[in-house]
Structure 1
Amino acid sequence: MSDDTPIRFDTKIAVLLRADLEPWQRLNVTAFLVSGLGTTVPEVVGKPYEDGDGVAYLPMFRQPVMVFEGTKETLTAAHARALSRALPCSVFTSDLFTTGNDRDNRAAVRAVGTAELDLVGLAVYGARNGVDKVVKGARMHP
């Protein structure tokens, strides 16, 4: 017997992208931003999948990832709100489009002060109401 009761999460995963990104950049930035959540916040990951023939697949997030877009100013404000609430977050700066590996990515972020980061993307996880406050002013990605 299966339980068909709708699941409502008290947490939220949100990605905020700068609206002026190219389509390929939006996809790339989103993938990079959410990649750290599963390793640092393990409760966001569900159980492994298996198809009807018994073939196993990797687990995925247990809840939807909400994707938003906004201006550079919206990202800067959201970043400040995420930090002030001490919510787990990841950042993607414009400099990362010119690097080709994790070492150089980390060095590029480390080279710039918090207030000067040229953010093109931000991912945040936490209590639903806290994340909603962080992405305030952004709109759902079309």
Structure 2
Amino acid sequence: MTTDTTQNRHAPVRFDTKIAVVLREDLETWQRLNVTAFLVSGLGTRNPEVVGEPYEDADGTPYLPMFRQPVMVFEATREGVTAAHRRALSRDLPRSVFTSDLFATGNDRDNRAAVRAVPADRLDLVGLAVYGPRNAVDKVLKGARMHG
């Protein structure tokens, strides 16, 4: 028995998990890019299954691996980001946060201290990344819209 590997190779890959970022809609472009990069940087350390295999070009030059699936980017109001954070906490999903205080710090130590200084329900969130089962992440993002 033979199978058509060409057809399987071109079939869309469906993931039962989702990586998503929700950003506050009032951020400047440079802030959106910076916050997104920071937020997703931790997901692979906590959930190594989200990272694919290393890359290599036709010349054999190696490149670092990246996420194995797309990162969906959403935007919401301040209240929408706060609500998404609350829902992510209630579902105990892996998450990372970026608060407005982090724009004034310049290193990881000060970033962690700034977050540690504020209770979870009082964080001035500008972004949140979350990973988990597709349906759970969709519920966390209720009300957010695709970034455009």
TM over 0.5: yes
Give the one of 98, 105, 129 matched to 1:92: 98
Counterpart of 1:135 in structure 2 is: 141
Structure 1 stretches of at least 4 aligned residues deviating more than 2 Å after TM superposition:
none
Matched, 1:62 2:83: no
Q: CA deviation at 1:6?
A: 1.3
Normalising by the residue count of structure 1, what TM-score does the alignment of the two structures yield? 0.98
CA-CA distance at 1:100 after TM superposition = 0.3
1:28 aligns with 2:34: yes
Identity rate, percent: 78
Per-residue deviation, 1:19 = 0.2
**1:41 and 2:17 matched:** no
SS where residue 12 of structure 1 aligns? strand
Aligned to 1:126: 132
Code of the residue aligned with 1:85 in structure 2: it is: R
- Residues 88-113 of structure 1, C-alpha deviations (whole Å, 9 max, x = no match): 00000000000000000000000001
Rounded to whole Å, the distance in 2 between the matches of 1:23 and 1:5 is 34
Instruction: Give the secondary-structure state (helix, strand or coil) at the position aligned to 1:104.
Output: helix
TM-score under structure 2 length normalisation:
0.94
How many residues end up aligned between the 2 structures?
142
Q: How far apart are residue 75 of structure 1 and its match?
A: 0.6
Structure with the greater alpha carbon radius of gyration: 2
1:112 corresponds to 2:118: yes
Q: Secondary structure at the match of 2:10?
A: coil
Deviations along 1:44-94, one digit per CA (max 9) or x if unpaired, are 000000111111100000000000000000011000000000000000000
